[in-house]
Amino acid sequence: MKLKRKMYLILMMLGTPLSVGSQTVHDINAWEERKAEALKHMPEVVESYANSIGCNVSFNPRNFARWQGSPGVQYIALVVLDEGCAGGSATWRSILLALREGANAKLLIHPGYSLPELTSPRFPQLIDSISATPHGVRFTGRVADADDPPNTPSDTLNGIIVWSGTEWTFR
């Protein structure tokens, strides 16, 4: 008898709709407004973090793309910085920073994907741009030709950015 009663109670609970508030149009619009506001602050977030890991940071907000890949990463940003803060043209390089959305759509740097050593040394020292495409995030960079003067690469290199599981690299 007790078993039948337990089964009956379980079936009743399963058949009872849970009262979970559904999202209204107002809720969705409010979320989208918070997200748009967070994107306005994206340059500050990126530059602040980049200045904490290097010097002479250069960031163009157009070098920011929606990422659809690694877990927990929604965007990537391209910055150029002097990694060792030693000054000099041979110490700066392009690196990728990963961002995720936190509470209320606030953008945060995802440090597990944003350290300089996580951008593969295979990337060109100078990456000019990144952009989201239907096939992934593309980059355009420059590598040195044999005839180029020091620190002025002229050959173009294009590719698709990928997360290998241990670093940002390209194919």
What are the pLDDT digits (tens) for 19-35? 456 778 877 777 677 77
Q: Closest Cα partner for 141 from 59, 88, 76, 78? A: 78
Q: Please report the pLDDT score of residue 19 as a whole number.
A: 46
Going by the DSSP 8-state scheme, the letter that residue 120 receives in this structure is -
Is pLDDT above 90 for 152?
A: no
Q: For the chain, state the CA radius of gyration.
A: 23
pLDDT band at 7 (very low <50, low <70, confident <90, very high): low
65-85 mean pLDDT: 91
Residue with tokens 């050959």: 155
- Tell me the pLDDT tens digit for each residue of 103-126: 888 899 999 999 999 999 999 988
Q: What are the Cα distances from residue 57, in Å, to 20, 52, 152?
A: 46, 10, 19
Is pLDDT above 90 for 63?
A: yes
Q: Closest Cα partner for 122 from 143, 137, 136? A: 143
Q: Please report the pLDDT score of residue 91 as a whole number.
A: 80
- Tell me the pLDDT tens digit for each residue of 127-151: 999 999 999 999 999 998 899 988 7
